[in-house]
Amino acid sequence: MLLEPIKMYPAYRHGAQTPWGGSRLREVFHKNIPDDHTGESLELSAIPNLNSVTEEGVGLEELLSKYGEDLVGTKVQGPFPLLLKLLDARDRLSVQVHPGDAYAARVENKQGKTEAWVILDCDEGAELVFGVREGVTKEELKRASMAGKAVESLLGRVRVKPGDVYYIPAGTVHAIGAGILIYEIQQSSDVTYRFYDWGRTDSKGNKRELHIEKALDVVDLSIRQEKTVPVQIAEGREQLLRETYFSLQRWKKTEAQLKADERCFKILTALGETLLQWEGGQMTLPAGQTVLLPAKGYDLNIRTEEALIAYPTV
């Protein structure tokens, strides 16, 4: 029996969890966000207590338990591998770094966190923190991080524009700047180590926790910013990434067939109106809607203004 595409609905991180968040997820994608400091819409998530759900309210973990290999694919082993988010950075995020698999498993009993960003929209002049300036040593970074504001002068920065793609391997010093709306595909992990949070305090004057020693354990100072260059694979279709943990394509103003692949699932996020058709069914997706495409699923005819399609690299 073939499985149909499954519309998924997000869990949210908001309020004190994302003091940098805003309201653009509602304004741009009509998300039912819980407040005006909503930073993350977890579109496809198996993170405990932050599961995305079906229209009927069934969580992703329950779907995985029910359908198993038919859903995820024959080549996908272990915990669910990917996490997909839409992020609204009204203010800048903390300067942070994520661990790789070995450190995360040993210290946190979790997967590591390599991720990638597609810039969906941004204010003019918006920027990312990406890496550190050439020649900065770990000892300099430690001293500056302990001092606080001094770390700002050590950071690498890059201006962004809509459509840009950035790959952020574990170990990269990074931060999303203010005024940026982002699509993020990453390993399924919530491990983040903060170097610096711009002196931000909550309503009671408390600062968020930093994790400087762990951050220094995992940082790779050799990583430099390199914007990803898309590769055209067909009319209206680009391969944005093909990395160790995930691959990503962008389809724009195109109509084409997407064949099911029993090796792995796929995740389609509509950025413009998108029509999916298969034997015996169809669905229309508004911008901002994410659909899980099972490995043992139907071949799809897709007509889209714009969509991103992510999948585990197998």
Per residue in 14-38, pLDDT tens?
999 999 999 999 999 999 999 999 9
Question: Quick check: is 194 catalytic?
Answer: yes
Structural domain 8-218, CATH architecture:
Sandwich (2.60)
Select from 2.60.120.10, 2.30.40.10, 2.60.40.10, 1.10.357.10 the CATH code of 231-312: 2.60.120.10
Domain boundaries, the chain: 8-218, 231-312
Q: Band of the pLDDT at 110, cuts 50, 70, 90?
A: very high
Mean pLDDT of the chain: 97
Identical fold at 8-218 and 231-312? yes
Q: Is the pLDDT assigned to residue 249 strictly greater than 90?
A: yes
Give CB contacts under 8 A, 24+ apart, made by 196-204.
196/94, 196/95, 196/145, 196/148, 196/151, 196/152, 197/94, 197/95, 198/92, 198/94, 198/95, 199/148, 199/149, 200/19, 200/20, 200/91, 200/94, 202/16, 202/19
Supply the pTM of this predicted model.
0.96
The catalytically annotated residue of 90, 92, 194, 237 is 194
Q: What is the pLDDT of residues 126-171, one digit of tens each?
A: 999 999 999 999 999 999 999 999 999 999 999 999 999 999 999 9
